[in-house]
Amino acid sequence: MTDLRSSEIHDELDGDTLHEECGVFGILGHPDAATLTALGLHALQHRGQEAAGIVTFDGKQFYTEKRMGLVGDHYTDPATLAKLPGYISIGHTRYSTTGEVALRNVQPLFAELEVGGIAIAHNGNFTNGLTQRRQLIADGAICQSTSDTEVVLHLIARSKQTSSSDRFIDAIRQMEGGYSMLAMTRTKLIAARDPIGIRPLVMGELDGKPIFCSETCALEIIGAKYIRDVENGEVVICEIQPDGSISIDARKPEARQPERLCLFEYVYFARPDSVVGGRSVYVARKNMGVNLAKESPVEADVVVPVPDGGTPAALGYAQQSGIPFEYGIIRNHYVGRTFIEPTQQIRAFGVKLKHSANRAMIKDKRVVLVDDSIVRGTTSVKIVQMIRDAGAREVHIRVASPMIFHPDFYGIDTPDRDKLLANQHRDLESMCRFIGADSLEFLSIDGLYQAVGGVARDPMAPQFTDHYFTGDYPTRLLDQEGASNVRKLSVLASNG
């Protein structure tokens, strides 16, 4: 009998999805800073479920709490929040893209520097993080984590600039990739976004106090007002003055590049009720379904979403096609990992732990199954079989995004290139046979662009980051180019 570790069982059941990057939240000058940060992180839980951390400052010292697991498992406890006094706070909810799953990698990371204490947290990934780390270690630096965020702390410490703000800016200007980052000092909350704006970051306000977070849904949960998006390449420095007022200094790059938001924010990552880049995520996803119905119609009796990601697109497909929408699959939202026994019999349940067929809506029907994306295709195989077992006459899969051919290096945890479904089959017909469907179609890249931005893709100057579909990476990939020269990170066993 094969003895799988719990992480391997998780891969067996959940390894066919693109995992979110991370979520960040910060607030300056509010007496309930920690509580508001915990609420904000709760709204951003979809962006990372492995761990969460909060750092605060109360005018005298910094406080930090880092926990493995969900935000609600820890930060709803008044005793935990009581350990986080202060009027400045930043928080982070994590899914690891670089570094192991260990408490020492949970952000925010904190360090005492010559200019005072500083905590930082970021969403996304640096494409030169390992390259920078290797150089820092060669120069004598000691790294305590395997997170690429720690590299920024070292660069801040080594900067020749005078103020903490200028040191922070000096450090992030040496980093490449897709990121949004928050930093806090004794008096400042600093927000920064990568030069082309791959990862989102918004600015809000509550009771006159500035807030920064990954998505607008984190503002909604606390009743805060949306102010604007942080621009790509911009650094916003908010500082409490001696008289208690808050100054805001927005520093923008001299030569700003065109913004290229990650398309997967609209396809999969962002919450449907968020507004990303000035666009409703829900409307964009519904438009994807509309365009999918126009491009790939089929005679059928019912449109069924693969929950929860496929629901808005399925509504759009049903609306455009005139085929009735039904919840033909019911999702179990209360599935955990710890109870799963490492036996083949239990693993064989597969998707049924998370999804169940609604037989009354499927039996004897021709079903259009709408999903937001297909990665490896293994989950699709199980769902199609589940629908057939429930009595469906036909199963037609329609995917509300293009085929994924290329891995991501900006914060999305994607499988290796050769494990992606699109690279394992010579054509669409072969993919369809593998999945077991009667037909299989994907949304075109232009259909996706039109759903999100209203116009087709400009191949000379793409409006969004779309390399997973097209292979057009928007930045250099230094760590990948020099992979043969970068030694693998050492891993110290941790109970965290």
What is the rounded distance in angstroms from the CA atom of residue 353 to the CA atom of residue 350?
6
**Measuring CA to CA, which residue among 480, 387, 479, 458 is closest to residue 133?**
479
CA 418 to chain centre: 22
Q: Which amino acid is at 271?
A: R
Residue numbers annotated as active site: 22
Q: Which residues contact 108 (CB under 8 A, 6 or more apart)?
A: 53, 54, 55, 64, 90, 91, 92, 119, 120, 121, 182, 184
Tokens 């520093």 locate to: 251
- The C-alpha torsion from 66 through 70 and 75 to 79, rounded to 10°, is -80
Structure tokens at 412: 């999305």
The 3 state secondary structure assigned to 36-89 is: HHHHHHHHCHHHCCCEEEEEEECCCCEEEEEEECCHHHHCCCHHHHHCCCCCEE
Which strand (E) or helix (H) includes residue 451? helix 445-453
Q: What is the phi/psi pair of residue 182, to 5°? A: -120, 145
The 3 state secondary structure assigned to 280-305 is: EHHHHHHHHHHHHHHHCCCCCCEEEE
